[in-house]
Amino acid sequence: MSYSVLVVEGVEHIRRVLATTLRREGLDVTEAATEGRGLRLLDERPHDVVLLDLKVPDRDGFQMCRAIRRRTDTPIIVIALRTTSRDVVVGLDAGADDYVVAPFTTEELSARIRGLGRRTRGLPGPRIQVGELDIAPRDGMVTRSGEPVALTRTEFKLLSELAIERGRAVSREELIERVWGADHVGDSRLVDVHVWRLRKKIEPTPSRPTVVTTVRGMGYRLPG
């Protein structure tokens, strides 16, 4: 299956290299040099994944993450030249689903794109009930007390995987494998930031979570 990728990169030679190598990997690639162009392309047709450099000419990459997220739940991978923990966390909190730190290999990037593109495969149906939450994995829908909850694809996948294993603590490593892909090389920050974002949307009091709870030394759990 071919996935469509929007590459937003302000440096022309880097953008061209990324686009060419990803096309060789069998991906359908669209290019944008600026935020404005990237957002117009997203409005014109859906993409499976957005690949975004955090330094685009007309806007800070973190702001563009937020702008994309206001429009769509399309997964975002940010290219990070800055590798501090704060930059990674701010990028994820701005709406990114994953990040790669330069330098990286084409194979690694392609694997992450394909991993984020596979969002509904292997999910059970038809519904999972967890307290006031009603989760429909195949339909990509979550309601709380009958009201729709707007989640990104990654947040939905994370919640669905925890719901499948409700009552059991699922480790961060297992969640990375099941949500981002078996060949993903990541760390706990990726999971922790997405759990934090998820809690803000589904918990009555996010600072005192009762739905997605932390099991110290093990991972996260939904009530059985």
Per-residue pLDDT of the chain (224 residues; tens, 9 = 90+): 578 999 999 889 989 999 999 999 899 999 999 889 999 999 999 899 999 987 776 677 788 899 999 888 889 999 876 556 677 778 888 889 998 887 888 888 888 888 887 654 455 556 788 888 898 876 778 999 889 999 988 999 999 999 888 899 999 999 998 898 877 777 788 999 999 999 999 999 999 999 999 999 899 999 98
Quote the pLDDT of residue 121: 47
pTM, two decimals, is 0.77
- Helical spans, DSSP H, in the chain: 12-24, 35-44, 61-71, 85-93, 106-117, 153-164, 172-175, 188-202
Six-digit token pair at 185? Answer: 């090389």
Give CA torsion, residues 79, 85, 86, 92, to 10 deg: 50
